[in-house]
Structure 1
Amino acid sequence: MHTDGMSTTGQMDEVYPVLIVGAGPAGATLALHLGRLGIKTLLISKHHGTANTPRAHIFNQRAMEVLRDARLEERLSEVACDAAHMAHTPWSDKLNGTEYGRMWSWGNKPGKKHRYEMASPCRMSDLPQSYLEPILVGEAAKAGKQYPVLDTLGIIVDGKQLNTALNVHIQADLSRYMENRPGSLNWVLNTEAPEWSAAGNFRMVRPWNEWLVSMHPANIDGRSFEPTNEQIQGRLKQMVGDNDVEFEILSSF
């Protein structure tokens, strides 16, 4: 996608002062701001679409100010979860079991909350990447056009895949476990956990029926380990502490 400068033949014949590689939250936001300032920008993405999993999600006040400057604050507030849904970070042996402790999170601590409120016109938000990217890329695309980019040689410089976690995207009504401790990250640690998932957490995507469940570490003796679907389902029920809980696995990665 580029902002301005497409010839009548459909070929690029302009010089672009800015090249942005990657159309994730940072790249798409930068392209949007530059495009609105009239700066020609070429934005390249290796993906055909936007993020299909929640991925990054916490936006602090400064990040929200950048989105406010992009005139997206009101629209994004419709899909973001506000600070009230992020108030706590608890640690438990199971969601319905013993709570080891909890802490106030993301500027919600009484006695300090007013400092955050006075420091910025924006509030911290939980804004999953899968909800944010379509809006960002869509707005950036309004200032330009799209065309395919082909490469004949690609040099991969990515590091080794560490396999430090298995993420399971699910739908499940867990609202009864959040009534007294609404939180974006809910940690589970117990001695009954299998070796391939010694610890994990339930990360809120949508309150309180869509989650990204992380299981750490996803390996055995340093070797990558891919659990079966039955093992994943068993671990999910064990983390909740309820064998009758109903859930739908949307994806795992």
Structure 2
Amino acid sequence: MEAIEVPVLIVGGGGCGLSASVFCSDHGIAHLLVERHAGTSTIPKAHYHNQRTMEIFRQHGLDREVTEQAAPVETFGKVRWLTSLGGDRPLDARLIQELDGFGGGVSHERYAAAGPILPARLPQIRLEPILRRHAEQHNPGRILFGHELVAFSDEGDHVTAEVRDVETGEATRVMAQYVIAADGGRTVGPALGVRMHGLPEMRRITTVYFSADLSEWWREGAHMTHFLNPYKADLFSNLFEMGPTWGRECEEWVMHFHLTAGDPARLDEQSIVPRIREVLGLPSLDVTLHGVTSWTVQGLLADRYRKGRVLFAGDAAHRQPPTVGLGLNTGIQDVHNLVWKLAAVVTGRAPDRLLDTYETERRPVGEHNIDWAVSAASHNQAILGAIGLGPRTPPDRREQMFAKYFDPSPIGVAGRARAAEMFATARGGYQAHDVEIGYAYEEGAVVPDGGPPPPRVPLRDVHHPTTRPGHLLPHAWLEREGRRLSTHDLTGTAGFAMLTGPAGTPWCEAAAQVAEKLSIPITTARIGENAEFADVDGRWEAFRQITDEGAVLVRPDNHVAWRSTSGSEDPAGVLADAVARVLHHIR
């Protein structure tokens, strides 16, 4: 049996595992990835990549290829509720309501100011090949699709695993210092006794992937379109563009059917195409079916993110409803948090206990995101029920309620106005900017300074930037010698960054000393008037929360590790202590 030794074994080659591989390569961590399937996903799921994920892709050089294929936010900044696309009945092809969302419309200016890149839409069937290509280019011969993990054991100081080639049956023995379990929770977690707690079956959904020419009827600009049929409640569904062309000429689509238990259409492909036509109100539509899958909506959290030398990420750690689009985004952000810590540990710059901060930091985020998605899903249903257009409206009153909603009389106008205000509360799911980029680590690889957290609006649609330790570094455009860059560009992937005010030279000198002493790269940047970096539009000064003599230490994942609001009599000593605490050299 062939034997391989690597610092890190990644189990799972989906979006989360492939991202972990790219990040490992960029951090210089030798690794092996195994994925039991022969290729990347054939299901166009997880298509929304929020602003934080796109920032991460930008940091790792993935953004150009993603944005080349993806729909820009200008093409998906609406959420719509329609009765159908076509049809000649009085209530067909009617717009019930629409709401701005996901960085479009009223939220666009806030998103554009908050980061160097905007959200994008690209289904997993097109994202994963990009990630795989980058992973293979940077780690040739060590990205093994068609290989499954068949056995493993944690030996205390390493993990021993057996990997089998699915096609040939040939087995390979792998010895790794650590394992990233990004396998969706299918293999590694259950074998180690890691349990998922929460809501195991919220509802069943059938997802249909198909091609059709909807150009004659399609209303452009929607991230998702909800269909509420005035005549039949069981036609409730959602439709999404899947590209590769975006807008009116889109070729491929995904429709989610929210079906009751036992509904034969959930499993019977023969009845799916007629149902698509009925939902859309297009009885003669030419439909090419690519795939039908049924799945369970869950709200589950692993009871731990680390067990010994195994660390869990993505669906192996958390599973949430698709509402708010947090699933794959949270998984990619998991491994972004984890990999820089693994790099510090496997190179000897930090002790193993630094990896405990992965669970300390990320599990609360996973729990919050599950709760937020579950709440948003429930709220969406509550809105429809409150205005009498939901699936629970009695069949004998359904058409009457829809007709009343569209009534041109003053009563109808008032009803629609009240409904619009209710729909606006759904921004907690569709404009959840502060959920997407406002998560923070209250403890872990951070040094709290006692500063108060920023205000948070109840529906999380407004984000307040802050340099408080544990939070994402505020984005601001800087300029140096004619080159424009973001504050997020200062860390790169190699190490930390020290951002100071224009009088922060002592901190910059201290950073050079600490970097040499601890063998940790620390980029320094004095920002402001007469400093080497110009604050282009004053955004850094507005959000830095330090004096001209102060400093902010930023981790490789662009979260603030420590800050000093002013100068110090012993900057080198203070900074060395802070870095030691961040890397857990000091308990």
TM-score by length of 1: 0.83
Task: Please name the residue that 1:42 is paired with.
Answer: 32
Task: Please name the residue that 1:205 is paired with.
Answer: 242
1:149 deviates by 4.7
Query: Does 1:174 find its partner at 2:218?
Result: no
1:219 deviates by 2.5
Q: Relative CO higher for 1 or 2, CA cutoff 8 Å, sep ≥ 6?
A: 1
Matches of 1:80 and 1:182, distance apart in 2 = 14
Which one has the bigger helix percentage? Answer: 2
Change (3 A) 1:156 1:246: same
State how 1:99-248 maps to structure 2 within 5 Å.
99-110=95-106, 112-142=107-137, 143-146=139-142, 148-149=147-148, 151=150, 157=190, 164-179=204-219, 181-193=220-232, 197-206=234-243, 207=246, 208-217=250-259, 219-220=261-262, 226-248=266-288
Secondary structure in 1 matching 2:81: strand
**Identity over aligned pairs, percent:** 25
1:247 deviates by 1.6
Q: What is the alpha-carbon root mean square deviation over aligned residues?
A: 2.6
1:49 deviates by 0.7
Matches of 1:149 and 1:47, distance apart in 2 = 8
Task: Please name the residue that 1:4 is paired with.
Answer: none
Partners of 2:235 and 2:279 within 8 A in 1: no
Q: Deviations over 1:218-238 (max 9, x none)?
A: 523xx7764533421211111
Secondary structure in 1 matching 2:125: helix
Change (3 A) 1:64 1:41: same
Change (3 A) 1:150 1:24: closer
Amino acid across the alignment from 1:178:
W
Partners of 1:163 and 1:224 within 8 A in 2: no
1:204 deviates by 0.9
1:42 deviates by 2.5
Change (3 A) 1:140 1:175: same
**Structure 2: gaps spanning 5 or more residues:** 87-92, 153-186, 294-587
State how 1:3-152 maps to structure 2 within 5 Å.
11-14=2-5, 16-96=6-86, 97-110=93-106, 112-142=107-137, 143-146=139-142, 148-149=147-148, 151=150
Task: Please name the residue that 1:5 is paired with.
Answer: none
1:173 deviates by 1.4
1:178 deviates by 3.1
**Structure 1: gaps spanning 5 or more residues:** 1-9
Partners of 1:193 and 1:235 within 8 A in 2: no
Secondary structure in 1 matching 2:132: helix
Partners of 1:171 and 1:248 within 8 A in 2: yes
TM-score by length of 2: 0.38
Aligned residues: 237
1:176 deviates by 3.1
Secondary structure in 1 matching 2:97: strand
